[in-house]
Structure 1
């Protein structure tokens, strides 16, 4: 798990996950594409291979209002402008032609289209005018500054692009005299109605630009993203050979381009599955499927039970859980390529002496907490009381006639109820936990003992990703149970003391996986605790991992699961770190200032949570 304190301080950027989530929802709604993801890059881009569009980090480090309006204008342009109104054919034709000023030609066309589409969006959606007004003001100042710098450095192609942007806003530059004829052609964009019109104007300017300029552009102010002629791969198998001859239809818009990639990504595994269904399993005997029944049984299954599992069934339980499963789109788009394994954590070494020593140290705290909580629970039990001013009316109404101030009411005894709660504990199993294992194990053991003492069902799981086996197509993740709901109040201290640190951690995926399990429980109060020592870190899970984790926390809350985060650190937490975890977990993130205080903080967190359960019970 990577630390929040990165080596290069000016690269220590954290993204506003809530803002990015809102932008993603907006982009999906405007483009009518729920699958569309929004990421951040240097410039706005289209990336159909990842089903994503990118807003520009150009808006960072500005006032909050400017930053928000800038990102909004990016989203409007990408999903309400370019999405359906940018002609890919005209774009492909222009970039296919070789020229000494090819980069300038491409960027001029994108600049022209941004201008045309901005005007179109504002006309169709007047509510977007404020965002585009901020965009134009900021970019006007930016291009004026860049024009002066490029002119001084002799980057004439770059300076011309800056001048071209400004000329569309009626701002004159030093180039207007010498380059007036070219800029006059450029102003024909006010009458452009399509990408083909914009491309035609750029083509008109090309000859004069090649004559006036010796070099192409140095900087990049506009980029498109993935190559527009990059078609998705198609997977064939013997069962669909007839489809090979079908010609692919011409893609005209970015929407069609993205939809083609999206459909192909969804169907990646389908042909193989269809082949199995159509042709059957090649390993079956020649005599047909009936002969398969003669094979010996390789695996048996049994029904689920809410009670304790028998010892002799544990090995079978582990064997059945170990089979890999595909996440697909069930646990978030950032985790579509995840393959996960669920298994019991085995204790291969006897840790009885270590467990006894830790429990001896923790015993006073556990006893005190259990005594206090049970006392609070008992206080909710009220014995039968008579002669009250309010309550149930007694059958003996004689005091009403004989006494001056009668008290004919009573209260029945209220039986003490068990705590209607369930707890889940997710433990980060990344490599950075290696120097914190003993303290974490003690805290988890305390968690286990307190909940067993109160008879509260709970689950304890270690999660991690295998970094060495992870690739673009498959990211293996593992969940190792130390204690399951079905285990009741059995003692699993041996398993708790046996867990080890591994490689990476995919927090958002783990939270969704556990939420999916706990939301099925019928208890009134459902809690999910996450023990971690840093930010999410896994394959292709850097910045999008932070967003994915924040989204998973919001989704858990919608499912009625209260999520708490305990940050484990060997040093005092900084304000930057605290803000980072609040961004992902809201105000439900607490930290331990040192490893020695981790057990104390766990005890305090449990105590506060259980008090709330008792009060609302």
Structure 2
């Protein structure tokens, strides 16, 4: 894990992207909902509109065993408990009924406390293996409530102290010792206990609403100030507006479909997911507030449908489909890459509003760059020549080793093996001619503003990469990537891929294009990785490699918070496609421990760094040597 530099020092927290992704996959499996996402918040939380569930930060800063068990207990409660066994309608009805209570916060959170207690029992019976995680949870929260209770009593926060007492009594037994004399505060705690004991027999959310309501009736006789702290938030976003969809009065029953009040959180989430999926299709503008396939006001309109194919695309918000993503209508159809496209949901939820453009980089300062290109190539020539010769020798040796000492074939002139060896192999076959390496490379170069102080060294490393692969006849594509921060908004985030060399260029010399590379603004790494992975996935070569040259963590509009997690997820997705990702950290100085840990978290053990700008080319050669050796060995 790595500490992230935050504006507020005390919020300098750790982020473990890959572990969070593993928890997310567990949550998806338990809920049988591949669309949900997992985050960390102050308390357990559901956000149906966004498809997000949140575990609590309560478990941070503890031993690894407690952190893991505590987070597992959160996920079990969210996806195996509340997800299927919490009654949404009972909660909404109860929330409406207590809206005028003086202790309404106490009452609603008490219900959630009772529900958590009931759900732990339900989950443990369904999945006995969860018991150990819930035991860790009980111990941690009982300890928290015991410490908080004395503090709340000193501050005369009686409602909070009573909440602490009820939690302790539930989890340690109704006869657990208490250091508070409730009679001194005119509170009949014995009567409260007699009501609380029904929680052990509760079978539903509705049962617990009666218990919570009765306890509140007793408590509010002596306590008039509501809770100061918040202990539960699982029900905050489960409101009537989120669970019942309203249709236009003119809609027919057939068009309304199956939508209506939802009974479980699972149904609420799936309904919102279906709505968002529907709205991402190619639609006409419906008259309905929520619709599936209605008619518009126009006389010549036809019924809209979410699966409709794109016949024409414009510059609006329609996403189109994968087979026809181009939105700039030009007469030149020879190179479809010089067009603007909308990412939609193809590249992950974080990039839904990204509009990207693939364009050939413009050659600038041609005379000056041509002279510089000659100088750099003269400097790199010995390294390129020796590297290429080394690889070709390895290929020849590999093929030779396959052709000698065979059991059949042509008889060798060296017949001493007939006398010396117990099982002689005196035959050979003619070596096959050398063939091109069965590999393809994609190189992404960070085009953010922070690259400005290391542009020349980066260009030299990219040029070396290009010249080596070109001489070895290996297909490769090189592109910089950046986001136009000046024009980025919540609705649209423009991104650009500046193509220096493409697969269709084959062995074309694009040195001048590489020297025309310049620094721009922000970088959206997860999006760029998925984009290049798509290009590589269409290739037929056996070995596929994606190299990323960057000098910092992802940073773009609305991406600073989730960029690390999204990039780590993009790396995992790409590796699953059989594409190996290698990262080179470009830095003007020795990377810090935190920087190394950050990139290791995103790229795993396939990340390298350089001690200075002068060693960019050395690191590039080292990476290429290792990767091409793997290709040759497995040829």
Category of TM-score, reference length = shorter chain = 0.7 to 0.9
What is the aligned partner in structure 2 of residue 287 from structure 1? none
What secondary structure does 2:230 align onto?
coil
What is the aligned partner in structure 2 of residue 207 from structure 1? 217
What is the aligned partner in structure 1 of residue 230 from structure 2? 220
Mapping of residues 368-387 of structure 1, within 5 Å: 368-380=386-398, 382=400
Q: Distance in 1 between matches of 2:445 and 2:243?
A: 39
Shift of 1:450: 1.3
What secondary structure does 1:230 align onto?
helix
What secondary structure does 2:100 align onto?
coil
The answer to whether the Cα contact below 8 Å between 1:236 and 1:244 also exists between their aligned partners in 2 is no
Determine if the alignment matches structure 1 residue 504 to structure 2 residue 525. no
Mapping of residues 111-126 of structure 1, within 5 Å: 111-126=113-128
- Structure 1: gaps spanning 5 or more residues: 285-312
What is the aligned partner in structure 1 of residue 323 from structure 2? none
What is the aligned partner in structure 2 of residue 187 from structure 1? 197
Structure 1 residues 542 and 233, CA gap change in structure 2 (3 angstroms): farther
TM-score under structure 1 length normalisation: 0.85
Determine if the alignment matches structure 1 residue 420 to structure 2 residue 453. no
What is the aligned partner in structure 2 of residue 321 from structure 1? 338
Q: Distance in 2 between matches of 1:153 and 1:415?
A: 87
What secondary structure does 1:587 align onto?
coil
Shift of 1:519: 1.9
Structure 1 residues 347 and 235, CA gap change in structure 2 (3 angstroms): farther
Structure 1 residues 363 and 11, CA gap change in structure 2 (3 angstroms): farther
Structure 1 residues 362 and 4, CA gap change in structure 2 (3 angstroms): farther
**Range 372-381 or range 588-597, more displaced:** 372-381
Shift of 1:73: 0.6
What secondary structure does 2:589 align onto?
coil
The answer to whether the Cα contact below 8 Å between 1:176 and 1:183 also exists between their aligned partners in 2 is no
Shift of 1:600: 2.0
Q: Distance in 2 between matches of 1:595 and 1:12?
A: 29
Q: Distance in 1 between matches of 2:428 and 2:409?
A: 7
The answer to whether the Cα contact below 8 Å between 2:3 and 2:13 also exists between their aligned partners in 1 is no
Shift of 1:458: 0.2
Determine if the alignment matches structure 1 residue 336 to structure 2 residue 352. yes
Q: Distance in 2 between matches of 1:55 and 1:207?
A: 32
Mapping of residues 496-575 of structure 1, within 5 Å: 496-575=514-593
Give per-residue Cα distances to partners, 1:143-202, cap 9 Å, x unaligned. Answer: 111112222222222111111100112233234643413343233212221111111222
What is the aligned partner in structure 2 of residue 487 from structure 1? 505
The answer to whether the Cα contact below 8 Å between 2:255 and 2:294 also exists between their aligned partners in 1 is no
Shift of 1:44: 0.9
Q: Distance in 1 between matches of 2:270 and 2:25?
A: 17
Determine if the alignment matches structure 1 residue 596 to structure 2 residue 600. no
What is the aligned partner in structure 1 of residue 94 from structure 2? 94
Which one of 339, 345, 365 corresponds to residue 349 of structure 1? 365
What is the aligned partner in structure 2 of residue 359 from structure 1? 377
Q: Distance in 1 between matches of 2:590 and 2:331?
A: 42
Give per-residue Cα distances to partners, 1:576-600, cap 9 Å, x unaligned. Answer: 2222222221110111122222222
Q: With CA pairs under 8 Å and 6+ residues apart, which has the higher RCO, 1 or 2? A: 1
The answer to whether the Cα contact below 8 Å between 2:243 and 2:261 also exists between their aligned partners in 1 is no
Structure 1 residues 331 and 196, CA gap change in structure 2 (3 angstroms): same
Q: Distance in 1 between matches of 2:253 and 2:363?
A: 55
What is the aligned partner in structure 2 of residue 173 from structure 1? 178
Q: Distance in 1 between matches of 2:427 and 2:7?
A: 72
Q: Distance in 1 between matches of 2:25 and 2:534?
A: 22
Q: Distance in 1 between matches of 2:490 and 2:28?
A: 24
Shift of 1:470: 3.8
Which one of 138, 141, 145 corresponds to residue 139 of structure 1? 141
The answer to whether the Cα contact below 8 Å between 2:439 and 2:631 also exists between their aligned partners in 1 is yes
What is the aligned partner in structure 2 of residue 30 from structure 1? 30
Give per-residue Cα distances to partners, 1:83-111, cap 9 Å, x unaligned. Answer: 11111222223333122222222211111
**Range 510-519 or range 12-21, more displaced:** 12-21
Q: Distance in 2 between matches of 1:314 and 1:451?
A: 34
What secondary structure does 1:491 align onto?
coil
Q: Distance in 1 between matches of 2:425 and 2:256?
A: 93
Structure 1 residues 366 and 236, CA gap change in structure 2 (3 angstroms): farther
Shift of 1:504: 2.5
- Structure 2: gaps spanning 5 or more residues: 287-292, 301-329
Q: Distance in 1 between matches of 2:278 and 2:91?
A: 28
The answer to whether the Cα contact below 8 Å between 1:380 and 1:416 also exists between their aligned partners in 2 is no
The answer to whether the Cα contact below 8 Å between 1:384 and 1:411 also exists between their aligned partners in 2 is no
Q: Distance in 2 between matches of 1:99 and 1:117?
A: 26
Q: Distance in 2 between matches of 1:428 and 1:232?
A: 44
Structure 1 residues 470 and 208, CA gap change in structure 2 (3 angstroms): farther
What secondary structure does 2:283 align onto?
helix
Q: Distance in 2 between matches of 1:166 and 1:242?
A: 51
Determine if the alignment matches structure 1 residue 581 to structure 2 residue 599. yes
Structure 1 residues 565 and 163, CA gap change in structure 2 (3 angstroms): same
Q: Distance in 2 between matches of 1:150 and 1:278?
A: 57
Give per-residue Cα distances to partners, 1:249-295, cap 9 Å, x unaligned. Answer: 112211111111111111114463587x9999x9x9xxxxxxxxxxx
Determine if the alignment matches structure 1 residue 263 to structure 2 residue 274. yes
What is the aligned partner in structure 2 of residue 301 from structure 1? none
Q: Distance in 2 between matches of 1:94 and 1:384?
A: 78
TM-score under structure 2 length normalisation: 0.83
What secondary structure does 1:267 align onto?
helix
